[in-house]
Amino acid sequence: MSIILPTISYDIEHHNEQGEIELENVDKVDLEINFGGGTIELEKGNNHSLLSYELNSTRTNDHQITQETQNNKTKIKFSKESTYHNINLFNLNSFESNWKLKLNLEKQYNLDLNYGAAEVNLDLRNLKINNLDIESGATSTKVFFEKYPTSSTINTGASNYELSFPSNYSAKIIIEGGVIDVNLEDFKKSGKVYITEKFNEEEHIEVIIGAGASSISGGIRK
């Protein structure tokens, strides 16, 4: 059983918690994040822990972290209360919470993210992400994919999604729903399906998007 060892400091207007989840002899990590409004940043970390985190908020005790391990897999869950007071809808950076998580470079992850009105940056470069599932409200989200056969499903409301893909690696995007603006550079379009040149059916990134009145942009990194 891993021990989560946080360090906590806060004053009247600010709460900061930093910690890490200790390295275990597991092959796969299921990471679930339930988040209301604010900002989330996820990126590569190191190989000394399963993940490290820094949680900033103007409220104390508004989140919970749990972990359960069975056989060669562990499930880690971050949950935050959904709060909407003091939110400036024209400036997402003014939201009360900012979460930063850094993942292990060698472990395989399944990511399950549920968030509302949030600004989210998912930098998956150098990470092994098998599955990325997103359920979001009105959001601005950026995703940087790695040269790794990630399977992703995105269901969202009125949002802006920017997707960045590695060069010399196949990708397929299937867009369903009422998306009003699609701008994907270096992709070939056939109906609701967008694929890269020299597409490899056996190994590729696949993204399925179900969206309301949203904007989907991005393309291949040069």
Model confidence over 43-53: pLDDT tens digits? 999 999 999 99
Per residue in 136-175, pLDDT (tens digit) is: 998 999 999 999 999 999 999 889 999 999 999 999 999 9
Task: Check pLDDT > 60 for residue 10.
Answer: no
Q: How many Cβ atoms are within 10 Å of 189's Cβ, its own excluded?
A: 12
Task: Please compute the mean of the pLDDT values over residues 110-125 and round it to a whole number.
Answer: 96
Angle (CA) 8-103-41 rounded to 5° is 70
Q: Cα–Cα distance between 173 and 186 in angstroms, integer?
A: 12
pLDDT at 6: 60
- Residue 68 makes CB contacts below 8 A (sequence gap 6+) with 74, 75
Nearest partner of 165 among 184, 193, 139, 188, judged by Cα: 184
Q: What is the pLDDT of residues 81-111, one digit of tens each?
A: 654 444 444 444 444 689 999 999 999 999 9
Length of the chain in terms of residues written: 222
More confidently predicted of 185 and 61: 185
Taking only Cα atoms into account, the Rg of the chain, rounded to an integer number of angstroms, comes to 18
Contact 123, 103 (CB under 8 A): no
CA 97 → CA 55, 125, 152, 199, distances in Å?
A: 7, 24, 25, 40
Quick one: how far is CA 62 from the chain centroid?
20
Helix (H, G, I), strand (E, B) or coil at 19: strand
Model confidence at 195: pLDDT above 60? yes
Tell me the percentage of the chain whose pLDDT exceeds 90: 73
For 178-194, the pLDDT digits (tens) are: 777 999 999 999 999 99
